[in-house]
Amino acid sequence: MTIDNDIRFVLLDLDGTLLDRHFDDYFWEHLLPEIFAKRNGMTFAEAHRELLARFKREEGNLRWTDLDYWSDNLGIDIPALKFQMRHLIEVHPHVREFLADMRRRGKTIVLVTNAHFKALDVKLEKTELHGCFDMVVPSLDLGAAKEDITFWQRLEERLGPDYREHSILVDDTEAVLQTARRYGIRRVVFKAGANSSRPVKRSDQFESIESFRELIPE
């Protein structure tokens, strides 16, 4: 499983794809409900249900990714809390090796992410991945989440009108891959094992990898 020579753009998601999603899952599913429960006189289970319902209502749009929105909505300084917990942020195995290989092969490496710029700053600083990308494109910059085909249409302004024919996208979210495939991205790959603490499940809809080692030529 290799990357063809005529693939010029390597489009990579951040959370769950390059980075272990254990950090974000723990943050949103455990730490935040715990704090919210204490501040609002609720049980953990009640807080968890309440937050899950709020998150679900915004899933797939820009407010879902906006840390400032959630800080105001929940009365908790989300960026400060992420910074406090940054020691849990980890890069998946073989990611650095893969990025170095793509650089040697002359590919244009583009980070395409729904991550809010405040979370992005914390994560790139902690992992020291700053210099690994030719371009960083957060969804807030394009005014649409990656689940929205508008994101991929507007990305043409950055990469050129023929980029879809010369791109591979690796992402751990099937909804994003579905939209990218519908738009015409040449090759879309599902990153299985997004959270290292949970069982690995490959996609039955998309070509899947468990490790970036699978995309590095022998």
Active-site positions read 6
Cβ–Cβ < 8 Å for 171, 190: yes
CA dist 158 → 5, 140, 211 (Å)? 21, 14, 28
The DSSP line for 20-81 is: -THHHHHIIIIIHHHHHHHHHT--HHHHHHHHHHHHHHHTTSHHHH-HHHHHHHHTS-HHHH
Instruction: Please give the structure tokens belonging to residue 102.
Output: 């793509």
> How far apart, in whole angstroms, are the C-alpha atoms of residue 99 and residue 10?
9
Q: Which of 123, 140, 120 is nearest to 64 (CA)?
A: 140
What one-letter code names the amino acid at 200? V
> How far apart, in whole angstroms, are the C-alpha atoms of residue 7 and residue 9?
6
